[in-house]
Amino acid sequence: MATGSENLRQTEQREQPLEGAKPLDSKPDSAANLRNQYFDCLASGKSSCEVPTKPQEQIGTLELTNPYTSERSEMVEQPKPITADTVLPRAQWTLAFNLTTTQDHQAPSIGSNAEDARVYAGARNKTAELLELAATTVGKPVTLVVQNAQRPESSETSPTTDNNNNNNNQIVDGQAQASLSASAKDSGTSGMLIHTYLIHDGQIRELPTRPSQGVAADTEALLNIAGRQAPSEHLALFAQGHGGGPHGVSGDTGRATLAEMDAAIKNGLANSGRDKLDLVDFDACSMGNAAVLAAVASRADNIIASPEMETAGGEDIDAQNVRAIVGAVLSNPSMNGHELGQKIIDLAAQGANGGAAAPREIDRIVAGTDTLSHYNAAEIGQFNQNLNRLGSALTQAFESEPNRQAILTAIGDAPLASQAGGVRLAGTPRAELRDSKTFAANIINAIENGSLIDPQGQIKSAAEALQASQNRLVAGYHGEKAGGYDQQGGLSMFLPGRTYLDNQARADELNPARNITELASDERFSNLQNKESLLNSLGYNIEEVQYGQKKLGADARAIAPIIEAKEALSNASTQAEYTAALGLLTASARQFEQSEAGQRLNQIYLEQARAATAKAFAEEIPAQDQSQWTTFLRNLQALAH
């Protein structure tokens, strides 16, 4: 999940009155009217709705841990306190939220007030929003079970204190780049405490805190609590955190593989009288992936996930809008799991997560979910059968070189997820996760334009069958116009293209000597006014080359001409002198690459690239193992050079 800018649509919505809203009168049921307006407001996707209060005789109060400050404070009146052992009345819906990742960060401040620049996002922000909804549950057959991870109070006294997540997310150009390897702590060693809240009929009960046992174990514990203390006709799990597609999920409490999450859901439901969730919603990056669906298909009837990154940029842009989702359930608790899944997609399309009004040409992140899909889990088996069928047909076509090239073109022309897997294992190239619908369409187009030979029609038939099964699998999809996501199909799969398979191309990206050659010919640095930027980039890459030369025991004098050219650039005071120095740099950089020292350096990076590619396939293929489709992926791997 990444951080990004807030959305203008939300501001516009807040300024508009509720359509069809009736003025409240002074009758005794005015509070009920206010609640109904509140439910309608939330269900419409508006980000700011007036919270109603329940008129009641004050009998007592309840103190809760404020998720922003970890201070104890009086938050809600409670006439009949729920105890830690209370079994709540059977509801229509129990919504269980596992909020694992706090993404508070410092936005660029305006003026001297740093407080104004603090952006609250992720687990703590969503927890606060859900607690604020307590009053709206009065008289509704809906229970919320909310748990989040916090540092012990002694080490987290304010939202500005560094927390575990700060090490995982580096804010660059307004976005947080998440690394699974950076947050991959062993279960139970995160030092986090789990706070759990039961919310029902206007009341909140904070259960005893407990040490986190890791993402998977905490998920299992949440579902145990929901099944034991919050019985209901329907049960939904909302799993918030960082997503890695085939690599699983992670958060402030560690990481969990897909297999571990599958086991956690199974074990968590063991004593609930059910073997499936009505709905599981991954409020995380890149989980709208074929491997993810295959892993959890037997644990939920409906799955919500985004093939793309999700964005956490503040209260109005914080991935999926939990206020709107809960509001929709409160306004219509009789809906089933499929209807709730469709409603979540409808809310995204209406702008609940931001961005829906943004024009296609906009060049910045404006939505919490650029993509969001609702999957019908019952269709996953048929989809995988058709995926295998296509894999078998493509494997046969691979025997022809023209067909191989046509297939690689079809892969390369399919949209690539911007973070391509969200989070990943250290040392591997970023997985190329591509839109499956577009890939199938590209295969059909290649056959129709004659670049892919399909004399028996087997490939086209298989591709069309895959498209049809995906249409049934993806029950609902919203893609933002910005970025062209509205043209995609709502499901990603591992599809490595030519660049991924070109180890030399990846070695060139890593090789500082090649970087120097490219810097010398980069038009951006052709003007004297950009000299300092060029010198800074050259300095870093020259140091890297020198380090490599030392490791190889090579003659350090081989790079001397490049250093001399850098000195000439540094001393240049006119455009003519600067241009001449650039010429010297270009010639010396190319000469070094062609030298024995340069070739030895290239070989080091080439071997690193080959090892990384092999490691990536070793991770990606088991996650998406589908017999004939796996054979096709192995054929792609064999093309790596």
* pTM listed for this prediction: 0.76
What's the average model confidence in pLDDT over 143-160? 67
- pLDDT score, position 218: 97
- pLDDT score, position 37: 58
Cβ(235)–Cβ(272) below 8 Å: yes
Buried b (16+ CB within 10 A) or exposed e, 147-185: bbbbbeeeebeebeeebbbbebbebeebbbbbbbebbbb
- pLDDT score, position 164: 35
- pLDDT score, position 417: 82
Range from 7-11, 45-49, 130-134, 387-391 carrying the lowest mean pLDDT: 7-11
Q: In the sheet where 302-305 sits, what is the strand order? A: 203-211, 193-200, 142-150, 91-99, 232-240, 279-283, 302-305, 371-376, 474-479
Domain boundaries, the chain: 8-15+33-53+62-380, 381-496, 497-641
What's the average model confidence in pLDDT over 616-635? 83
Q: Which residue has the higher pLDDT, 621 or 294?
A: 294
CA 119 to chain centre: 19
Cα separation, 197 vs 131, in Å, equals 8
Cβ(488)–Cβ(437) below 8 Å: yes
Q: Which residue has the higher pLDDT, 27 or 423?
A: 27
Strands 91-99 and 142-150: parallel
Cβ(516)–Cβ(536) below 8 Å: no
Cα separation, 276 vs 512, in Å, equals 52
Cα separation, 123 vs 118, in Å, equals 15
- pLDDT score, position 152: 76
Query: Tell me, what DSSP letter sits at residue 107?
Result: P
Work out the pLDDT band at 409, boundaries 50, 70, 90: very high
- pLDDT score, position 147: 96
30, two tokens: 């005015």
Cβ(348)–Cβ(283) below 8 Å: no
Work out the pLDDT band at 542, boundaries 50, 70, 90: very high
3-class DSSP state for residue 494?
strand
SS3 of 268-317? HCCCCCCCCECEEEEECCCCCEHHHHHHHHHHECEEEECCCCEEECCCCC
pLDDT in tens, 465-522: 999 999 999 999 999 988 889 999 999 999 999 988 998 988 888 899 999 999 999 9
Residue 19, pLDDT above cutoff 90 = no
